[in-house]
Amino acid sequence: MVLNKVDKKEARPDEVLSQVFDLMVALGATEEQLDFPYLYAVGREGRAWREAPREDLSELFQAILEHVPPPRWEEGPFQLLVANLDHSPYLAGWPSARSSGDGCARGRRWSSSRRRAGWRPGWPPSTPTRAWSR
């Protein structure tokens, strides 16, 4: 958990940490869940720390690597589950999606299926499209 904005004069990070702990107890958290890591941060300045204030986010990144499991990957053909479709006048359709399978490399060709529920003309494109990244 990141306790942000600890530089504000109204900040009360220890009280907030105690309230979060009490909430997790009330929700029936296990002992392992109650032993959650926490960091203090000043997001605007790009600083986060566990005990002594630091001038970078290295401790936050280290905590992520230690406590967040890597994604599970399934072998098989490339699949893309679109969770949300957005639209931009500059980029047209903009899907938010999760992929699985062999992966989608930049420049790799893929195509979409019109048989899925929710399909509308023009999106997703019915012709093969090149994968890209920002």
Could you report the per-residue pLDDT of 109-129, keeping only the tens digit for each?
A: 666 555 555 545 454 444 444
The pLDDT value given to residue 102 = 66
The pLDDT value given to residue 126 = 46
Could you report the per-residue pLDDT of 3-12, keeping only the tens digit for each?
A: 999 999 999 9
The pLDDT value given to residue 103 = 62
Q: What DSSP designation does 43 have?
A: G
The pTM assigned to this predicted structure is: 0.56
The pLDDT value given to residue 119 = 47
H/E element, 61: helix 58-67
The pLDDT value given to residue 82 = 75
Residues of the chain with pLDDT under 70: 73-74, 91-95, 101-134
Of 22, 4, 21, 25, residue with least CA distance to 13: 4
Of 11, 7, 9, 17, residue with least CA distance to 45: 7
- Produce one character per residue of 81-92: b if its CB has 16 or more CB atoms within 10 Å, e if not: eeeeeeeeeeee
